[in-house]
Amino acid sequence: MFEVDWKTPHLWRKTAPPRPAAAALDGDITTDVLVVGGGFTGLAAALGARDSGVNVVLLEGNEIGSAASGRNNGLVISHHSKASPSEFEAAYGRTLGERYNRMVADAAGVAFGLMQRFGIDAHQVQEGWIQPAHTETTLKRARIFYEEWKAFGANVSWLDRKEATDIIGSPYLGGWKVLNSGHINPFAMTVGLAAALEREGVRIFENARGTAIEKTGDGWRVTTAKGSVTAREVVLATNALTGDVWPGLKRTLIPFKVFQSATDPLPDDLRARILVGNPAVSDMRNDIRYFHYDCDNRLVSGGTHTLWFDEADRGRAKVSQMLGQAFPAFGGAPRMVEYWHGTFAVVPDRRPRLYRLAPGLVFGGVYSGRGVALSLSLGQELGRWAAGRRADDQMPLPVTAMKPVPFHPVAVQIANRMHPWHRFKDGKA
């Protein structure tokens, strides 16, 4: 159910600049910090460690960006997944809650800053992210997000019913906007960042899946099919595709599969009435509606599977129907051309995880669908931590032992079949 067809070209891959494949690991090498996983978390961790002045190796089991980081919707959002800033403070306590909220508030700016620092062309557009509300209940919730982030000092604005409806081109009651946010071609960002890391001296190996981890003198040896890497510190950034590389780790997160779909490039008259000013949008439904343009004015959106995993025609039909309902300017259901899917990691409390698995061996990630901006910030912190530049109590998240998801096999099935329940709740909200 959760395999990724990582070789099938998808929209982001087709429109990203080409990048030569990284080297294959053949033999045994040694480094200071080893990062396992070549998504945003792993790439950013490698950067954080390298910027701290240590030698870094990164192992990616498939290709860089082949998983969630290269196939997501591309929304770069400085906001939590569902919770408000005060709810995080209540959960983490004042000091840690504030530190975490600060990282989230700055995360989109950090992401766009990386593109600028390394000259990465990820088709980035920093015209803000809007979260509109479709009911009075969700409007109140949107107002809480807006008020709390404003009080925190984030660059946010409020949109009334007319502004939200006119900008988005779809009827909403109002909403809030985060101005440092936006959208990217995420695959272009992964390969651009990997190329930048190689220029900075990070050694990256693709098709190098870590299959076992064993303790050596004062560090760890990670074995792959054709070699091994021995390092003082190891960062696991394997997210939803975490396998059996460390006992029990995969039972601490739920892989959740979603699909993406895109129209053909829209003509100018539609482009002028839908998403005016090129913002990123995701609304407050449980069966969330989200959209933005790619570099050629395709409208990119997505949805959730229920029972029909991998059925592209049904996925396209669902998004087509949703876009037709959302945007009167289409005058019917638009044709969806592109289709692909991916898997992200979710946990019931929707709080990212930092696990110390053993001395010198850590895991970080799990963003519950809101990881593009956050992984690029949290990943760098992970790298600094591994390089000895951060103590546990300086991290923006609690450093804990593994937290297994209760009744994991059942939880995985339930989470991936919640879609009808979400639609039901949307009807009631």
Residue tagged 């032992």 (tokens): 401
Binding mask of the shown chain, residues 77 to 96, with x at each position contacting ligand FAD by CB under 6 A = x-------------------
In the list 146, 205, 220, 367, the residue contacting ligand FAD (rule: CB under 6 A) is 367
Whose Cβ is closer to ligand FAD: residue 330's or residue 340's?
340
Question: Nearest distance from residue 419's CB to ligand FAD, in Å?
Answer: 14
C-alpha–C-alpha distance, residues 289 and 179, integer Å: 20
With binding defined as CB under 6 A, does residue 365 bind ligand FAD?
yes
With binding defined as CB under 6 A, does residue 219 bind ligand FAD?
no
With binding defined as CB under 6 A, does residue 370 bind ligand FAD?
yes
In the list 11, 59, 125, 322, the residue contacting ligand FAD (rule: CB under 6 A) is 59
The residues in 250-269 that bind ligand FAD, with binding defined as CB under 6 A, are 258, 260
CA distances from 171 to 133, 168, 280, 376, 422 (A): 9, 8, 16, 33, 20
Contact segment (CB under 6 A) with ligand FAD among 109-117, 354-362, 366-374, 400-408 equals 366-374
Contact segment (CB under 6 A) with ligand FAD among 22-30, 34-42, 93-101, 147-155 equals 34-42
Whose Cβ is closer to ligand FAD: residue 209's or residue 232's?
209
> In this structure, are residues 107 and 403 in contact, taking their beta carbons and an 8 Å threshold?
no
Question: Nearest distance from residue 211's CB to ligand FAD, in Å?
Answer: 7
Nearest to 131, CA basis, from 325, 329, 287, 280: 280
Question: Nearest distance from residue 176's CB to ligand FAD, in Å?
Answer: 17
With binding defined as CB under 6 A, does residue 342 bind ligand FAD?
yes
Phi-psi region of 332 (alpha: psi -120 to 50; beta: other; left: phi over 0): left
Integer distance in angstroms from the first to the last C-alpha of the chain? 31
Phi-psi region of 345 (alpha: psi -120 to 50; beta: other; left: phi over 0): beta
Contact segment (CB under 6 A) with ligand FAD among 70-78, 82-90, 153-161, 410-418 equals 70-78
- Which letter, b or e, does each residue of 363-394 get, where b requires 16 or more Cβ atoms within 10 Å of its Cβ? bbbbbbbbbbbbbbbbbbbbbbbbbebbeeee
Count residues contacting ligand FAD (CB under 6 A)?
A: 45
* H helix or E strand, kind and range, residue 214: strand 212-216
**Six-digit token pair at 113?**
């800053």
CA distances from 246 to 43, 225, 268, 349, 428 (A): 20, 16, 52, 23, 42
Whose Cβ is closer to ligand FAD: residue 270's or residue 382's?
382
Residues within the interface to ligand FAD (CB under 6 A):
36-42, 59-62, 66-69, 71-75, 77, 209-210, 237-243, 245, 258, 260, 302, 342-344, 365, 367, 369-373, 375
